Amino acid sequence: MRILSFTVISSCQSVTFEKDDDNLAHVDFVMSAANLRATMYSLPITARHVVKRIAGRIVPAIATTTATVAGLVCLELLKYVINSNQYDDDHVGSFTSEKEINTLAATTTTINNCEQRLVQLKSRNSFLNLALPVILFSEPGLCRKTRLPNGKYFSLWDRWTIRPCKQVDKYRLTDFIDQIKVSAYTLDGP
């Protein structure tokens, strides 16, 4: 077992993007990557000075956008953590059921608090354009559900736990497929 050395991690340091310093290879790398992609798609190759001019404007925007997206992802992750429940391994179903929402509504003291809490916990799609600046949020569309042979429905957001019926080294793809077929007929869930 290899132990991670924290001295190696602590010796790492950030490198700033400096487009005007020709001794650094930042612009050369960006130019090479851009021209490689241009060649792959039969586009004209771009000169170094043009790449340098464009990169000087794009790189700060990339850093700002990346930070904004990371913040939005953290907000959605926090909502997921707050909203998720502890599931046993046999649970199959959506992460937030109507029953759970109704329970939340019944246990909340006022209607205002309940509505505010439910709005806070809903996931959102985010669309942003920092050049304008505009950030738009929308509710995600419904996930397509697949009907199983036993009449139950299953979506991409549901969890389906399959425990191997044999030792892992002897477990084959055909065993997995057979277990899926059996589980589809005996599945308990919402």
Specify the pLDDT at position 100.
Answer: 59
pLDDT at 48 over 70: yes
Residues 153, 147: Cα–Cα separation, whole Å: 5
- What is the pLDDT averaged over residues 55-60? 76
The beta-strand segments (E) located in the chain are 125-129, 134-138, 145-147, 153-155
Residue 128: strand pairing partners? 135
pTM of the model: 0.44
> Can you count the helices (H) and strands (E) in the chain?
6, 4
Query: Cis ω on the peptide bond leading into residue 44 (within 30° of 0)?
Result: no
Report domain extents, the chain: 14-83
pLDDT at 188 over 70: no
Give the phi and the psi of residue 170 in degrees, each rounded to 5.
-110, 0
Model confidence pLDDT, tens digit, residues 90-146: 343 344 555 555 565 555 555 555 555 555 667 788 999 888 888 998 888 777 888
